[in-house]
C-alpha cells in the first residue's frame, strides 16, 4: 500500500509512528508497553497476563466488561491484547468513520481500568483455560522448555498453571502502576491520517491520564547457555517426534547480515523446492519443516524444527547437516540466490496489502528498539544481498558454539543422542 511514515515524540514521553495510507477505509492501532513477564518475580509470573485480560474490561466510562466490549464492537470494530516475555500490546481496528470513537474507548480502557474483583476472578479462570489449551500444542511446549533450558526469561505453560494461584488482584494493580506510564508507551497508528486527524490524535495522547514515569523500561540482557545434552520431553501418546535445535550468536546482527540470513532461511526451508525441506519432501521424509531467526537485546537465534516419524529422522538430519555444511563451504549457485531474491521480493509485496499488514511491518522493530524500517528500500536491500554475505553470516551463526537440541514424543535417550551427534559437526 502507498503510504508515508512520520514519527512523533510528545512532551509527556510517548513516542510513536503515524503510517498514513491515504486511500484506507480502516484504521489500526497498536499500543505497546514494556510490561512483560520478565519484570515480575517467578512466583507472580502470570500477573502481567491476567492484568492484560482484566484491563480491557470495566473502566470509569463503562463499568462492566461485557458492556464495554458491546460498545466497542457495535460497528464491527475489533480489539485484543497480548502479553509476552517483554511486552504487552493492545490493538484495535475499526472502520474509518468511527476512528475517533474507537481511539477514545481504547485509551479509556488503558488509562481508567477499574480492576474489579469479580472480573479478576472471571479472567483468572479464562487465563487458566487459555494456558490449558496452549499446553496441547506440542511445538509450543517443546519451544518454551528449550528456551527455559537455555536460560531465557520464560516458563512453560505447565509451570505457569502451577504458579497462577500466587497472583492476587493487588499484584496486577501493582504491575499496572509500575509499567503503564507515558515514557514507557509506544504506538503505531495506521490508516487515513491527514494532518488534522494526526493533530487530534496527538492531542488525545498528549493529555492521556497516565503518570509520566521515568523512562522506557530496558530489555533484559540474556546470555544463553549451551546444552550439555538434548532436552527430552517423553510423551508416549505422541507417535511422531517433534524436534527443535537452536544456534546462538552472542550479538545482534546488522541489517545487511539480517537480510542475508533471512534469504538463506528462505533457501533452506521456506518453499517446497528449498534445499532442506524440498529435498526431504522429494524423498518422502517429512510433511513440513520450519526455521526462523529471532533477536533479543544482545543475542541472535537461528532455529530449525519439524514433526517427523522416528524412522525418518536420521535421514532428515543427514540432509540438514549436509545442506548447512555445503553452505559453509560456499556451495551455493548464483541461480539459487536469484531465485530466493525473487521469492523474497514477492513475499514482501504481498505483506503490505492491508493497513494492518503495513503497520505490522513497522511495529515489530519500532517497539523493540525504536528502529524505523525504510519500507520502500526493502527491494533494494534484497537485491544487495550477495552469495559471500550469505556464506559469511551462516558461518557466524555457528561460530560461538552455543547451541542445543530438544525432542518431544515417544523418544528414547540413545536415539535422540544419535540425532544430536549427526548435526554436532556443524559447530566444529
Q: What is the DSSP string of 334-358?
A: HHHHHHHHHHHHHHHHHHTSSHHHH
**pLDDT at residue 41, rounded to an integer:** 96
In this predicted structure, the answer to whether residue 182 has a pLDDT above a threshold of 80 is yes
**Residues 296 and 399 grouped into a single domain:** yes
Q: Is the per-residue pLDDT at 130 higher than 90?
A: yes
Residue 135 host element (H or E): none
142 is a domain residue: yes
Start-to-end Cα distance in the chain: 46
Pair (240, 198) in one structural domain: no
* 61-99 residue pLDDT tens: 999 999 999 999 999 999 999 999 999 999 999 999 999
pLDDT for the residue 93: 98
Same-domain status, 243 and 183: no
Give domain status of residue 278, yes or no: yes
State residue 243's pLDDT score: 98
Domain boundary among 158, 190, 206: 206
Residues 350 and 239 in one domain: yes
Asked if 138 and 256 sit in the same domain, the reply is: no
- Of 246, 269, 294, residue with least CA distance to 405: 246
Share of the chain above pLDDT 70, in %: 100
Residue 248 lies in a domain: yes
Of 396, 353, 404, nearest to 21 by C-alpha is 353
Any idea what DSSP says for residue 247? Answer: E
Write out the DSSP string of 392-409: HHHHHHHHT-EEEEEEEE
d(CA 96, CA 28): 9
CATH number for the domain spanning 168: value is 3.30.830.10
How does residue 52 score in pLDDT terms, banded at 50, 70 and 90? very high
The answer as to whether 217 is a domain residue is no
Residues 193 and 263 in one domain: no
Rounded to whole angstroms, how far apart are CA atoms 262 and 153? 25
Closest CA to 179 of 35, 22, 48: 35
Residues 392, 270, single domain; the answer is yes
If asked whether residues 274 and 158 sit together in one domain, one would say: no
Q: Is residue 91 part of a domain?
A: yes
Instruction: Please check whether residues 126 and 178 belong to one and the same domain.
Output: yes
What's the mean pLDDT in 220-246?
A: 96
- At residue 348, the pLDDT reads 85
Is residue 200 domain-shared with residue 240, that is, in the same domain? no
Is 214 part of any domain?
A: no
In a domain, 46, yes or no: yes
What pLDDT is stored for residue 352 in this prediction?
Answer: 74
pLDDT at res. 65: 94
Report the C-alpha gap between 405 and 399 in whole angstroms: 17
Counting the structural domains of the chain, the total is 2
Query: Residue 212 falls within a domain, yes or no?
Result: no
Final residue in a domain of this structure, among 173, 206, 239: 206
Given this model, what pLDDT does residue 350 score? 82
Q: Are residues 251 and 109 in the same domain?
A: no
pLDDT tens per residue across span 355-377:
999 999 999 999 999 999 888 89
Structural domain of 345: 231-427
> Helix, strand, or coil here: 210?
coil
pLDDT mean over 167-196: 98
Predicted local confidence at residue 404, as pLDDT = 98
Per-residue pLDDT, 1 = 76
Considering the domain architecture, whether residues 275 and 184 belong to the same structural domain is answered as no
Amino acid at each position: 500500500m502507498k503510504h508515508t511514515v512520520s514519527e512523533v515524540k510528545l512532551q509527556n514521553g510517548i513516542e510513536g509512528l503515524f503510517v498514513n495510507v491515504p486511500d484506507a477505509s480502516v484504521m489500526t492501532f497498536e499500543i505497546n508497553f514494556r510490561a512483560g513477564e520478565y519484570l515480575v518475580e517467578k512466583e507472580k509470573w502470570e500477573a502481567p497476563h491476567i492484568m492484560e485480560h482484566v484491563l480491557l474490561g470495566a473502566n470509569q466510562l463503562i463499568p462492566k466488561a461485557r458492556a464495554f466490549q458491546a460498545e466497542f464492537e457495535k460497528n464491527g470494530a475489533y480489539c485484543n491484547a497480548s502479553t509476552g516475555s517483554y511486552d504487552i500490546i493492545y490493538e484495535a481496528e475499526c472502520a474509518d468513520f468511527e476512528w475517533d470513537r474507537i481511539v477514545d474507548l481504547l485509551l479509556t480502557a488503558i488509562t481508567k481500568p477499574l480492576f474489579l474483583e469479580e472480573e479478576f476472578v472471571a479472567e483468572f479462570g479464562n487465563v487458566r483455560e487459555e494456558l490449558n489449551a496452549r499446553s496441547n500444542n506440542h511445538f509450543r511446549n517443546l519451544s518454551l522448555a528449550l528456551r527455559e533450558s537455555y536460560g531465557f526469561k520464560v516458563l512453560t505453560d505447565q509451570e505457569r498453571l502451577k504458579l497462577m494461584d500466587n497472583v492476587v488482584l493487588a499484584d496486577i494493580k501493582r504491575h499496572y502502576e509500575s509499567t503503564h506510564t507515558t515514557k514507557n508507551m509506544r504506538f503505531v497508528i495506521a490508516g487515513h491520517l491527514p494532518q488534522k486527524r494526526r493533530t487530534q490524535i496527538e492531542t488525545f495522547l498528549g493529555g492521556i491520564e497516565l503518570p509520566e514515569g521515568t523512562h522506557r523500561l530496558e530489555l533484559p540482557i540474556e546470555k544463553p547457555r549451551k546444552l550439555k545434552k538434548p532436552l527430552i520431553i517423553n510423551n508416549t501418546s505422541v507417535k511422531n517426534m517433534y524436534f527443535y535445535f537452536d544456534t546462538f550468536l552472542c550479538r545482534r546482527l546488522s541489517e545487511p547480515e539480517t537480510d542475508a540470513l533471512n534469504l538463506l532461511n528462505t533457501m533452506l526451508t521456506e518453499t517446497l523446492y528449498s534445499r532442506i525441506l524440498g529435498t526431504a519432501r522429494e524423498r518422502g521424509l517429512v510433511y513440513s519443516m520450519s526455521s526462523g531467526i529471532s533477536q533479543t537485546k544482545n543475542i541472535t537465534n537461528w532455529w530449525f524444527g519439524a514433526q517427523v516419524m522416528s524412522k525418518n529422522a536420521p535421514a532428515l538430519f543427514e540432509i540438514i547437516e549436509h545442506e548447512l555444511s555445503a553452505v559453509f563451504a560456499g556451495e551455493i549457485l548464483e541461480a539459487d540466490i536469484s531465485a530466493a531474491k525473487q521469492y523474497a521480493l514477492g513475499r514482501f509485496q504481498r505483506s503490505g496489502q492491508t493497513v494492518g499488514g503495513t503497520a505490522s511491518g513497522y511495529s515489530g522493530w519500532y517497539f523493540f528498539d525504536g528502529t524505523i524500517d525504510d519500507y520502500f528500500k526493502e527491494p533494494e536491500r534484497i537485491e544487495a544481498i550477495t552469495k559471500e554475505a550469505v556464506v559469511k553470516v551462516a558461518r557466524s551463526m555457528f561460530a560461538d558454539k552455543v547451541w542445543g537440541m530438544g525432542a518431544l514424543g515417544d523418544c528414547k535417550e540413545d536415539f535422540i543422542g544419535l540425532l544430536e551427534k549427526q548435526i554436532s559437526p556443524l559447530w566444529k
